[in-house]
Structures are given as C-alpha cells and as structure tokens.
Amino acid sequence: MHHGYEEPVYLISVVAKVLTIHPQTLRQYEREGLVIPSRTDGKMRLYSQRDIDRIKMIQRLTRDLGVNLAGVDIIMQLKERIDEYEVLIESLRTEVSGLSKKNTQTKNPLVKHKNSYEIILFGE
C-alpha cells in the first residue's frame, strides 16, 4: 500500500519507534508548533511522511548541531520562506525568459545590465 507524502497515516507509537524518539518529545514538538499532526475522530495523532521528514530535520538540528527548540522554530520558518522564494524565483525566471525571447525579435533587451559601480558613480 502506497501513501502520498502529505497523507496522515502513522500513529505516534510507530513514528516514535521508527525515529527512536520518545512519544513525549513528539508531543512537545506539537506543543511548540514545530510539527502539527492530523487527528482522527477519536483524537489520535496521525503523522504524514512530510511530518516525519520534518521531525528528522528537528532531530538533526537538536541532536547533531545542538540547536534549542526556539532556534529550530526560527530555522524552520526561514527554510520555508527560502523554499517559497525559490519557487517564486523559478517562475520569474520562466517569465523573464519568455519575455526576453519576444524582445529579442525586436532587438530591445528587456534587462539592461549595469555594474553596481556605474550606478553609484553615474546614477541611473
């Protein structure tokens, strides 16, 4: 049986055993807002593969690098922001590439490159 990356299927006991982590630690991560598992109707926690990968990253930061949970929270937020920016940059690259191809035919480059010192010395 194959589950999607986002699909919540793993019980806390399974995650704890697989990652050799105490269930209480997983509950603490949830209290801190670092991992938010889904809940069954009976209020049992269910973790997705995405949640498990997130917990692995938290373990690397805390166990291997000695980062505290406040630091982990900041690092995770920055990582999410960087991921969003990378997606945005890629879509802008595609857009600029498409526009550049159109403007190449009219011999009018879309982006004029200037060295930073030219802008500083001579203005725009």
* Domains in the chain: boundaries: 8-104
Amino acid at 110: L
Instruction: From 55, 60, 58, select the one nearest 45 (Cα to Cα).
Output: 55
Q: How far apart are the first and last CA of the chain?
A: 61
8-104 — its CATH code?
1.10.1660.10
Q: Pick 2 or 24 by higher pLDDT.
A: 24
Among 22-31, 85-94, 106-115, name the one with the lowest average pLDDT. 106-115
pTM above 0.75, yes or no: no
Contact predicate 34/54, CB 8 Å:
yes
**Residue 59 pLDDT more than 70?**
yes
